[in-house]
Amino acid sequence: MKASGFLLRIEHTEGEARTGTLTTPHGRVSTPAFMPVATFGAVRGISAAELQSVGAQILLSNTYHLHERPGEETVKTLGGLHGFTGWSGPWLTDSGGYQVTSLADRMMIDEDGVIFASPLDGKKRRLSPEGVIGIQESLGSDIAMVLDECLPSVAKLGPEENRARMEAAMMRSLRWAERAARARQREEQAVFGIVQGGTDETLRGRSAEALTALGFDGAAHGGLGLGESRQERVKAVRIAHSVLPPEQPRYLMGLGRPIDLMDGVACGVDLFDCVVPTRNGRHGLLFTSEGILSLKNAGYRSDENTIDPACDCPACTSHSRGYLRHLFKCGEALAGRLAALHNLRFYLSLLEQSREAISEGRFAEFRSEMEPRLDRRLTV
């Protein structure tokens, strides 16, 4: 089954980098695009209107956590994710596969799926490939993800044992993907497969080839950002892209340092998500066009400068570094909200600028100019 009304139109290319328009049932997305993470149906402390004001086009929510509470039937009754949350634009829901890693001490895995001991009440919850598709259909997202077995790329095993474990997880993920493809009922909901295989080039290529044969609407890169080097990650993404259909959207799951976005765009990735901008913002770490700002440092106490002179977010247009530091030191909730909004605006703007640069044939120059600043720590 292919999703109706779902289409990626590629508009400009420069090397492997590309821009496009992704059409979904709830609106269009200019790609490459960053998806703010709304785990429970909300980006912590930030309203739908505020997200729209800083340029968000599509949001991501977590299938496992919404299944835990309030439950997918409640969300469905209240209008699906769009009616339930007030965000009327496109939604992507992940499958809960990452919880195989993040809740490893609370789960058991077998051929039928994953059993979790709920962190809420300790009761057992099972996620199966078919059940995860059903949950996401009830949630009403525009893009759903298949259930996969997500392993760190770097395991505490010898090379042979590690590869064997990675291959077994990749093959199980493919068997689950086949079951998920058969379980689909909603024609208007796109479903993405997830490429696994760690950083092993052969496994990564086999996974991408098998997923392509299953006829999904797009593909995601899974199991990365879990210990491998930047160079290994780029190679793994490129191997998969050499096999995946170029006309379909490509999604790099959960990787979100600004430098990771630049690497992904250069490789032809269309969609990104990560909690890095909002989580770091709430802890006083801000990304700027000049470098990374640790706003809680005492040196910013009387700093009258704006956070980022190149930014047009609410924090930068109305407040000084000294004021925002004061809010953090006082424990004022507004501090984290403003900082998270700023970081989101920085990420969204970075991709806006990338899209413009690709369309004008100068992305390589833009990337070369930006990269030295992205990991630079500003000092006072």
Active-site residue set: 94, 273
CB atoms within 10 A of CB 159: 8
Q: What is the CA radius of gyration of the chain?
A: 20
Q: Is the dihedral of CA 186, 252, 275, 178 positive or negative?
A: positive
Helix (H) or strand (E) holding 138: helix 129-139
Can you read off the two tokens belonging to residue 177?
A: 């993907």
- Measured in degrees and rounded to the nearest 5, phi and psi for residue 350 equal -60, -40
Residue 203 CA to residue 239 CA, distance in Å, equals 10
Residue 277 CA to residue 273 CA, distance in Å, equals 10
Q: How many CA atoms lie within 13 A of 318 on its CB side?
A: 8
Nearest CA-CA partner of 23 in 247, 185, 345, 354: 247
State the pairing for strand pair 271-273/250-252. parallel
DSSP state letters, 337-378: HHHHHHHHHHHHHHHHHHHHHHHTT-HHHHHHHHHHHHTPBP
Helix (H) or strand (E) holding 23: strand 17-24
- Measured in degrees and rounded to the nearest 5, phi and psi for residue 241 equal -65, -25
Residue showing tokens 């009761």: 123
Can you read off the two tokens belonging to residue 12?
A: 């400009």
Which amino acid, residue 107? M
At 38 the three-state DSSP class reads: coil
Residue 34 CA to residue 349 CA, distance in Å, equals 10
Residue showing tokens 């809680």: 296
Residue showing tokens 């993040």: 102
